[in-house]
Amino acid sequence: MKTKTLGVILLLGVLFFSACSEEKSAQAPMKIPPLSVNTVTVNKEVIPIWRSYTGTTKASSEQEVRARVAGVLKEIYFKDGQSVTKGQKLFLIEQDEYIAALDAAKAKKQQDEASLKLADADVARYEPLVKEGLAPRATLEQYQAQLAGLKAAIAGDIAQIKKAEIELGYTTILAPISGKVSSRKVDIGNLVGQGEATLLTTIMSVDPIYAYFSPSQNDVRMFEKYSNKEKPDAFIEMRGEHDTVRLDGYIDFSNNEVDSQTSTITMRATISNKDAKVLPGTFVYVNLFITDKYEFLMISPEVIFADQLGSYLYVLDKDNKAKRVNIETGYSSKYYVDVSSGLKDGDRVIVSALVKIRDSMEVDPTDVTDTQGIKAILEKNRLIPKE
């Protein structure tokens, strides 16, 4: 009986202490720390505006290399696909025939020059004799005609030598421009230039490279209205799976007519392509600088949400609590969005932990405007145009 009573007492004690512990837990719940977030302070300020289009690259120069004289191809001095410089030796055509023709032309000139000396001496000897009546004038005139004929022959010899030199020069075929060579169209031992200017290879100059794109005629009018540069800055992007190639340049051409079927106007960007990172025929994004003379309140597109009520984002109120703000947007790009209403200068926009944010949630903010604000984004992506 005593043992039973003792067990009941112990059980009541355990229940008493458990109840006290639960009461204490209910009275003092654990406080959850505020969510840490990054914020950027927004202001209306001058922002450079860019417009992006799709385009295609094209070689700035494309030259066909052809045989200009006939002969057997003796040497090829490049490898298919190699980069060459202007004036570099590419092919050699057999020269023996052309060297012989040049030697013959030079020999003919020497022969005619010797005959000219004799004719000149005959004229000089007969002129005083005719003047004194000691020789017939007809003989003098005959020598004078020979002299004139030999002078003409020597002029022809000089022209023939020049022609032979040119044809001999054509046997060594040089690169007309710097660029990338295609595959050769002929092999050593082939007869080339016989009856036609045989195509030997082609060279494409890819530095600079052209990027053609077609904005609407309304966009072109906008460029003309707001652009403050004769040759606006531009850059192209070739986006790959692992990285993006960016090359800088400028706009230097706009067509003088509108495509009647698409209502677009062809424009061209000239792009520096020193390392030949982009080849002709590549699909690229062409980014065109428009102006940096107007103020906008810009934010990153990554911080904007959308639901049935429209676009919105989160800002901090004076108590460091998250607050939903509905916004209206204007011009946008992959780098920034113009907020036309809903924000004001000095607002602190939350830019991190966005999936966890809820309206009225208390947060612990850290300002990252210097590294993640719009100006920082512009500088990081080289969107500040050159003066």
pLDDT band at residue 275 using 50, 70 and 90 as cut-offs: confident
- Average confidence (pLDDT) over 281-293: 92
Residue 199 has pLDDT above 90, yes or no: yes
Query: Is the Cβ–Cβ distance between 143 and 126 less than 8 Å?
Result: yes
Give the whole-angstrom CA distance, residue 358 versus residue 321. 9
pLDDT band at residue 342 using 50, 70 and 90 as cut-offs: very high
Query: Is the Cβ–Cβ distance between 287 and 52 less than 8 Å?
Result: yes
Domains in the chain and their CATH numbers?
35-48+295-380 (2.40.420.20), 67-94+171-201 (2.40.50.100), 96-169 (1.10.287)
Q: What per-residue confidence (pLDDT) applies to 386? A: 74
Residue 234 has pLDDT above 90, yes or no: yes
CA distances 327 to 122, 157, 221, 314, 347, Å, are 107, 87, 29, 10, 13
Closest CA to 267 of 203, 206, 224, 297: 224
Q: What per-residue confidence (pLDDT) applies to 6? A: 47
Query: Is the Cβ–Cβ distance between 54 and 213 less than 8 Å?
Result: yes
Query: Is the Cβ–Cβ distance between 226 and 291 less than 8 Å?
Result: yes
Alpha-carbon torsion angle 374, 376, 380, 382, nearest 10: 70
Residue 88 has pLDDT above 90, yes or no: yes
Task: Residue count of the chain, please give it.
Answer: 387
Q: What per-residue confidence (pLDDT) applies to 243? A: 85
pLDDT band at residue 1 using 50, 70 and 90 as cut-offs: very low
Residue 7 has pLDDT above 70, yes or no: no
- Average confidence (pLDDT) over 7-35: 57
List, for residues 25-66, the tens digit of each pLDDT value: 555 566 678 999 999 999 999 999 999 999 999 999 999 999
List, for residues 57-78, the tens digit of each pLDDT value: 999 999 999 999 999 999 999 9
- Average confidence (pLDDT) over 127-137: 82
Give the whole-angstrom CA distance, residue 282 versus residue 238. 8
Tokens of 91: 């092919």
Mean confidence (pLDDT) of the chain: 89
φ and ψ at residue 52, rounded to 5 degrees: -110, 140
Q: What per-residue confidence (pLDDT) applies to 222? A: 87
Q: What per-residue confidence (pLDDT) applies to 264? A: 94
Tokens of 169: 């020069």
- Average confidence (pLDDT) over 201-212: 95
Decide which of 334 and 201 is more confident.
Answer: 201
List, for residues 353-381, the tens digit of each pLDDT value: 999 999 999 999 999 999 999 999 999 99
Decide which of 29 and 129 is more confident.
Answer: 129
Q: Which residues pair with 365 in a beta bridge?
A: 37
Residue 4 has pLDDT above 60, yes or no: no
Give the whole-angstrom CA distance, residue 311 versus residue 323. 14
pLDDT band at residue 2 using 50, 70 and 90 as cut-offs: very low
Tokens of 249: 């340049």
Which own/partner pairs from 125-128 qualify as long-range (CB within 8 Å, at least 24 positions apart)? none
- Average confidence (pLDDT) over 85-106: 95
For the chain, percent of residues with pLDDT exceeding 70: 92
